[in-house]
């Protein structure tokens, strides 16, 4: 029986103290509907903007890869990567939620609405 990864939809790897998440299926068609390529840079844009609004302190713990044909995130903080995986998992397999996230966060002139978590 195949075990479900707690880092889904990412593949997780570690080398020394550098942990890495890699997204294999970039959902190209969903991004193309918004005139984006759907490459690693577009995913980085979406997640950077999302985190700047929802969890700026988490954003500080991450480094986004500079690859275009894939998307990767690096961090020494394994828990930070797990939090990212959970966040992406919430919308990744739902076409409507993915579309809403692309519409909201895949913007070059993004203005975050800071959310108070009381």
C-alpha span between 89 and 10 (Å, rounded): 9
Q: What is the pLDDT along the chain (118 residues), one digit of tens a residue?
A: 556 688 999 999 999 989 999 998 999 999 999 999 999 999 999 999 999 999 999 999 999 998 888 999 999 999 999 999 999 999 999 999 999 999 999 999 998 886 655 4
C-alpha span between 28 and 14 (Å, rounded): 27
C-alpha span between 47 and 36 (Å, rounded): 14
Number of structural domains the chain divides into: 1
CB 53 within 8 Å of CB 42: no
Q: What is the domain extent for residue 65?
A: 10-105
Does residue 25 sit within a domain? yes
Query: pTM for the whole thing?
Result: 0.89
Does residue 110 sit within a domain? no
Does residue 15 sit within a domain? yes
Does residue 1 sit within a domain? no
Does residue 117 sit within a domain? no
């Amino acid at each position: 029986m195949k075990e479900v990864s707690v880092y889904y939809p990412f593949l997780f790897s570690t080398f020394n103290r550098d942990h890495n998440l890699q997204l294999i299926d970039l959902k190209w068609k969903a991004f193309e509907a918004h005139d984006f390529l759907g490459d690693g840079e577009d995913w980085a844009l979406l997640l950077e903007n999302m985190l700047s609004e929802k969890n700026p302190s988490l954003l500080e713990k991450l480094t986004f890869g500079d690859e275009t044909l894939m998307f990767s995130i690096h961090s020494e903080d394994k828990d930070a990567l797990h939090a990212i995986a959970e966040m992406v998992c919430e919308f990744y397999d739902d076409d409507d939620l993915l579309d809403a996230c692309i519409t909201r966060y895949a913007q070059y002139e993004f203005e975050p609405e800071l959310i108070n978590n009381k």
